[in-house]
Structure 1
Amino acid sequence: MSAARARRAASRGYTLIEVMAALGVLAIGATGVLALQKATLISNTNARNLAIANSIAMTWAERLRVDALQWNDPMRVPDIDSDTDWLTLSTTSPFPARLPPTEITALGAPDADVLGADIYPGDTSASAFCTHVRFRQFTDPASGTRIWESLIRAEIRVIWERNGDPINCGIAPLTVDTNPGRFGAVYLTTGVLRNTSEDRR
């Protein structure tokens, strides 16, 4: 190839077909990057919701353990109904009832915002997470008598809307049970022990 012909070929630029092929390759690459970005965003949101819901559930487990300090049955007189804030639900709404724990200002609320902080009356934050509790006393299936008088099983469920919308914490727990595709949930089960310090005196 002569030097003149090489100069003419270099000055021609790109053909339309070369430009279209390059744009096609760019479009395919960009589509893959956008799809990966969407999948990453969804995964991050799911991971964040699980982490916050786990934190809320553990906070409620600790609240129930602190509440059990008031359950001490002085002189063998049961006081779980009169002295506890949330464990009283074990007798007023026994298993299998699942319900939101009673809201007590400065102690705990069943509604939480997107960061997991309790929402109290007057707070304008939208509810992102709701807590349900269910209590079960250990009984003998044959006779129905309690096996462990000083132990209660507490099941804590924290739920959220999978689509990211604010959640209505007044929703019936049965609705959540029958719509697993709509709600995300974290379950935590723990034992709550009666304060037995009075027994040692």
Structure 2
Amino acid sequence: MSAARSRRTARRGYTLIEVMAALGVLAIGATGVLALQKATLISNTNARNIAIANNIAMTWAERLRVDALQWNDPGGVPDRDSDTDWLSLMTTAPFPEKVTPTLIPALGAPSADVFGTDIYAGDPSQSAFCTHVRFTQFSDATTGTRRWPTLIRAEIRVTWERNGNPINCATAPTDIDAQPERFGAVYVTTAVRRNTSEE
């Protein structure tokens, strides 16, 4: 190979078509990476919402168990309706109605922020999660008599807006039921027993 020919080969660069092809391959790869990042972000947000909602629901399950300590029927006289904070909702909102638990300062609030912390009056935080409860007494389907008078089934539902917007906890539970594509939800079911230590 002559010296002049080797110099011409060394000076030869990329053509415009080769550059455009390389940029096209880079663009396709970058688009795939961006789509993967978006899917990962959405999945992480959904997983975080489910984990926080589970924690809120389990906290409410414990609150209801503590509330049942006031349901003690001393001397065989039922007092659940007057002494409990949340179990008394069973008489005002019987099954199958879901209700928003009453806000009781320092005990519990039905709305929580993005971290799952209760929101009380005066707190400027926006609601990210709302809690609903539904109570059932175990009764015989044919006679209607209570089978286990010392036991209540409690269903706890924690909801949030799937699009990430703040949720309005004044929204009726039936409206949330009607829009499953808009609201995410976690359900926890537990049994609450009467306190028998004072009988």
Q: Same fold (TM over 0.5)?
A: yes
Distance 2:141 2:129 in 1: 35
Distance 2:114 2:3 in 1: 69
Distance 2:170 2:140 in 1: 34
Instruction: Give the match for residue 11 of structure 1.
Output: 11
Structure 2 alignment gaps of length 5 or more: none
Q: TM-score, normalised by structure 2?
A: 0.98
Written as runs of structure 1 = structure 2, the 5 A alignment for 1:14-53 is: 14-53=14-53
Letter in 1 for 2:127: S
Letter in 2 for 1:31: T
- Superposed CA offset, 1:52-106 (max 9, x none): 0000000000000000011100011111011100000112211011011000011
Give 1:198 deviation, angstroms. 1.7
Distance 1:113 1:45 in 2: 15
Letter in 2 for 1:21: A
Instruction: Give the match for residue 153 of structure 1.
Output: 153
- Does structure 1 residue 193 correspond to structure 2 residue 193? yes
Written as runs of structure 1 = structure 2, the 5 A alignment for 1:1-201 is: 1-199=1-199
- Superposed CA offset, 1:128-164 (max 9, x none): 0000000000111111111101000000000000111
Letter in 2 for 1:10: A
Distance 2:29 2:3 in 1: 38
Distance 2:89 2:31 in 1: 53
Structure 1 alignment gaps of length 5 or more: none
Q: TM-score, normalised by structure 1?
A: 0.97
CA RMSD of aligned residues (A): 0.9
Farther-moved stretch of structure 1 (2-11 vs 65-74):
2-11
- Superposed CA offset, 1:107-137 (max 9, x none): 0000000000000011111100000000000
Could you tell me the percent identity over the aligned residues?
Answer: 77
- Superposed CA offset, 1:20-76 (max 9, x none): 011001000000000000000000000000000000000000000000011100011
Distance 1:190 1:132 in 2: 14
Runs of 4+ in 1 over 2 A off after TM superposition: 1-4
